[in-house]
Each structure stands twice: as structure tokens, then as C-alpha cells.
Amino acid sequence: MSETRSLRVALLGAGTVGAQVARLLLEHHDELAARAGVPIDLVGIAVRDVSAKRTVDLPAELFTTDAETLIQGADIVVELMGGIEPAKSHILAAIGSGADVVTGNKALLAEHGAEIFAAAAQVGAEVYYEAAVAAAIPIIRPLRDSLAGDHVERILAIVNGSTNYILDRMDRFGDSMEDAQRVALELGYLEADPTLDVEGYDAAQKAAILAGLAFHTSVPAAAVHREGISAITLQDVESAREAGFVIKLLAIAERITDEDGVEGVSARVHPALVRRDHPLATVYGGNNAVFVEAEAAGPLMFYGAGAGGVQTASAVLGDVVSIARRHLAGGVGVGESIAADLAVLPIGAAETRYRISLEVEDRPGVLAELAGILAARGVSVETLQQTTDATDPTADPAAERDGGTASLVIGTHTARDAALAAAVDALSASDAVESVRSVLRIEGA
């Protein structure tokens, strides 16, 4: 390619992010050209309805409903439509026509990323997706490039700003789950249907992308263990605070070995207890953070806004400039490495520590009985806290009592998740246990 010819960018989608990308491409045209070493021209924007109102005033002549024709004339196709189809077909068509692709489509990459990356590798095209995981926070390029010579051991990430905002309000302001969700909805952190955020689907898609990239293997979203935050109560949050923890919805990816010695990847999303002196504990409000543990580099944290039109557009434009520089240098895309082909192991193979909150009969011998139930399933007790008597909130928790119920919090040593699940089932079936209020994993310790 001649160094003097402009690079033609086709934009698919003009929603909150797409409109900002278009605006910045037009307003910062000369600055972007200087940074890239070649002019970057927005040649068209494909939308479903050219007459729809936009959040940004853009030239009407750029809009078209003919995405197929627009793609064929582009050097770089920026897909910001969202969803699976027609986004997938458009991306594959762009790759087939010789274009490079920038996308922020986490759902598509989590489900069909392996197919898309394989198609790009066949023709030497590049697929960039910095905006797909944490908006403006740079994490894809550090994992793919900066840490390419290192051995990533574990990733702990807060990648859903909505749930982080909710849990933060519960922790810092004492809101109930219902009240925190109401405020989050009023402020625009939540959609009218909060399921994707609150039940962990959004974070699971991002966990799949991070795990696949960090461990050079294919991790479909369906293989990611997922738990949301809807069962978290203010009592859980307050109990965690008293013990020196904060509750965060974490997306976790790590190398593990199961009981049979099989090495694989654990990819999971669930509420977790994080010690208050851990860097992730200070991620407040709607912010995101990705905490990487690498063999040589050690612990690294990437922090910032995890959503927003302008913020996400920043990541998209960074990818566009990177591709433009590669075009100028005359190189071909290196593609994604999935050479490791590691198995995605079930949640039962993961190991961590736990805090189990129970209501139990308040009688002599109960503690020994419960410890025996845990020990029989390979779970050992590290700490045991008897808090309050449910029949007398003013009673001394250290006093010897008989009758009524007592609240217990059991902290365990490191155990397999499968063993812990079996132990919790046995506790639930015990006549000594009135209820198992909550079971929370301790991560990042």
C-alpha cells in the first residue's frame, strides 16, 4: 500500500459508542493522521434507519443502510452494532474482502471469537477488540503484546460497572439490594431489565474473552461458571465489612490443575470476598479494574471507567490507529494464538477459601458436629465466629446457652469447590442447621 493513500474506515452502527467514534474520526482527523502516519478517512456509516435521531450531529451523506457495499470498499471495518447477527456476517465479510476489523462486541467474541480469529489468520487480517472488555481501560493489548513473553497465572477483574456500583452503595451507604438497584437504574447504570448485569451474563462474556487471551485457548461463554449478585443481602455486606472484606462481583480466569492432575483453565464469575487491603477493594462506583498476576511481571492492575460512549470510543480509536500504523509498516496481522488448547475445567476443580454463614441450633455439641461434617468432606475449619442469638439479640455470644438458634460464620482453609459444595449440602441436611444463609468465596488473598 502506498504511504500517501488514505485508509478508508467503514463504521457499522451509530449508537452511543458508534456516534462518538464517528465524531472523533471527523473532528480529530489531522491529529489522528499525524499519530498514525497516514490519513484515516471515515467513508460511511451503516445503520438500520438513516432518518433516526442521533446523539451526535453527523453529516447526513455518510449514512447508508447498505452495509455490504460499504464493507467492500473499506480498509478497516469498525463493528459497533452489537449482538450476534448481522454483526458476525458483516465481520466475516470484511475479513473476506481483505479488511481489518475493530469491534467492541463482547457477546459475539465470547461466542464466536475462535471462528472469527481463525478466518482472520487465514488471510493475514487483524481483529482488534480493546473496547470489548473494559471500555477505555487498556487490557487486551497489554495481555496480547506487553505480556506476550510472560506467563499469566491469574486474572481477577471487576468488569461490570453496574454491579460494582450496586455493591459499593450497599457497602459504603448501607443501601439494601433493592434500593441500590433503584438508584443505579435512576442514574443510568442499569437497564430496565437488569438481568444481563445483575445475574453476571455480561461479566461472563468478558471473562471468556480474558481467559482465552491470557491462556491462549478457546473459552466459550457457555463454559464460564456464572453467579450473579441478586442473592447478596445487606447482612452479607455488613458481615463482610466486620471481617475486613468487601464483596465484589469478580470475573476470574486462572490456570489450575484438577484432582486427576489435568491442567486447564478455570473461568468463573461470582460474588467474592476481597480483603480491604487488596487493590480491587478500592474500585468504587461504576469503575472497572483488571488485576493480573504474572510470573515475571508480578501483580499489575489496570483501572478506570468501564463504560460510556466517549470512553469506549477512545479504545476503538486506539485500535484503529494501531491498525493504520501496521498498514503503513507493510506488515500482516499476527492473529490470536490459541495454540495451548487447554480444557476449561468445571467450577468444582477450583480451589479457594470460603465463609459460610449459618443459623444453627444453640445447644452443646453443635460446633463439633458441624466441624465433623466439613472434615468428612475434606474441608477444614480455619475460623469460627458465633455472632448473635436469634432469640435474644442482646445475649453475650460467648456465653454457654441451650435453646433457640445462633448465627455462625465458618471460615475454611483452601478447599476444592466440589468438596465445599458437598459439605454445604450436608450442612443443609443436618438437623442442627436451621439454614445456610450464604456461602461466599474468598479471592485475591
Annotated binding site: 12-19, 106, 191
Contact at 8 Å (CB) between 355 and 418? Answer: no
Contact at 8 Å (CB) between 305 and 135? Answer: yes
Amino acid at 163: T
Q: Bridge-partner residues for 210, per DSSP? A: none
Q: Binding-site residues for NADPH, please?
A: 106
Could you tell me the end-to-end alpha-carbon distance of the chain, in angstroms, rounded to an integer?
Answer: 51
Q: How many other C-beta atoms are found inside a 10 Å radius of the C-beta of residue 187?
A: 12
| 269 DSSP assignment | E
Write 56-60 long-range contacts (CB < 8 A, 24+).
Answer: 56/19, 56/20, 56/22, 56/23, 58/14, 58/19, 58/22, 58/23, 58/26, 59/26
Give me the active site residues, please: 206
Write out the three cell numbers for 416: 476444592
| 363 DSSP assignment | S
Amino acid at 271: P
Burial string for 237-276 (b: 16+ CB within 10 Å, else e) reads: bebbeebebbbbbbbbbbbbebeeeeebbbbbbbbbbbee
Taking CA atoms, 3 is separated from 272, 286, 404, in Å, by 51, 42, 81
> In this structure, what are the phi and psi dihedrals at residue 393, rounded to the nearest 5 degrees?
-60, -20
Q: Binding-site residues for NADP(+), please?
A: 12-19
How many CA atoms lie less than 13 Å away from 160 in the CB half-sphere? 32
Q: Bridge-partner residues for 101, per DSSP? A: 77, 127
